[in-house]
Structure 1
Amino acid sequence: MVGGAAAVAIAGGVIADVALESRAAALAPAHRGDTGGLGSIAVVAGLCLEEPPAAGPSVGRVTAVACAAPHLAETVADLAFTEDAWPGADVIAERALEHCAARVARLVPDHLADGLEWRVWAPSASTWDAGDRRAVCVVASEDPLVGSLERGDAARA
């Protein structure tokens, strides 16, 4: 009987390990150039997005595409926060907006500026608790782009 209980405990431990690894993978950031469906917490700089993210406090999922394909948004920079404790929405907003404003101003060429807007995805208190420590600068376009603003080869499709 002891052997059966030990086997159940071991199996339970393996299932818990797999569940933890799966959750960690879901929270892990993407890599530059990745494509496919991504949760907002995985988004990093260097991704071209098929559609601009939804407006509002919850971005949800986005679809990353190769930058050579027509796309309506690009993540051009990100900012990693190093604090362990939630620093507050005002601190997050101030630092993220300052970082993104400087980065976007440097990357967006004058000939493409019309029809582009930028926004920041930033951690909230609840996503912070889930491990989200990255603000992402996103440039959205009214018309499809090909190439990358970040690499300097973006053009209207």
Structure 2
Amino acid sequence: MFCGALALVAVALLPAADAAPAPGPAVPDRKGDTFLTAESGGVLAIEGGECFTDPARSPAAGEVMVRYVPCDEEGAANQVYGFVAAPDGAFDRERVAAFARESCGRGFRTYWPGEAAAGLDFYPVLPTAATWDIGDRDVMCVAYRPGSPLTGSLLPLASALAR
């Protein structure tokens, strides 16, 4: 009996085997231009056409960040479909956000016209005042499926090639 009780105590003291990322901020149903920024951890490592996770706390990095995942793997929640350069000038977040919504919206309607956009949405990832000061003018355009993970590329050409 003593050995059984000792075994239970030992099991209770062992660390959890899976070191999955801890939940990050709550993910809204609709993501907007404040969901991620150029300063969000991991964002600058994501390239055109790639998929990535929603933000989660990384135990290794000690911060909330996103990470690249193939579009057809668990955790894929967002896909980059383009980049646009914001016009030069003094950083004005509202001006940059309006430009980003218009430019990314135009690209979204080009890739997913009419009914092709059903069940999809987009959001821009903006530069911040700090990244603007070092020359960052890039806006990342991201597509996602509200309330659902991705099960493959959202991009029409990539989807057609996979068939």
Instruction: Flag whether TM exceeds 0.5 (same fold).
Output: yes
CA 1:143–1:66 in 2, change beyond 3 Å: closer, same or farther? closer
Does 2:47 correspond to 1:41? no
Structure with the higher fraction of residues in strand conformation: 1
Deviations 1:28-71 (A, max 9, x none): xxxxxxxxxx622343422111x2357xxxxx632112334352
> What is the deviation of 1:88?
1.3
Unaligned 5+ segments in structure 2 are 1-40, 57-63
Percent identity, aligned pairs only?
27
Give the match's secondary structure for 1:151: helix
Q: Which runs of 4+ in 1 moved over 3 A?
A: 41-44, 67-70
Contact 2:51–2:80 (8 Å) recurs in 1: yes
Contact 2:144–2:150 (8 Å) recurs in 1: no
Contact 2:123–2:142 (8 Å) recurs in 1: yes
Which residue, out of 127, 148, 151, partners 1:145? 151
> What is the deviation of 1:112?
5.9
Deviations 1:102-126 (A, max 9, x none): 1111213635622x22111111212
Structure 2 length normalisation: TM-score?
0.54
Structure with the higher fraction of residues in helix conformation: 1
Which segment drifts farther, 95-104 or 66-75? 66-75
- How far, CA to CA, are the matches of 2:134 and 2:156 in structure 1? 29
- How far, CA to CA, are the matches of 2:109 and 2:54 in structure 1? 19
- How far, CA to CA, are the matches of 2:47 and 2:131 in structure 1? 15
Equivalence map 1:35-114=2 (5 Å): 39-49=42-52, 51-53=53-55, 61-70=65-74, 71-81=76-86, 83=88, 85-108=89-112, 110=115, 113-114=118-119
> RMSD between aligned alpha carbons?
2.8
Structure 1 length normalisation: TM-score?
0.56
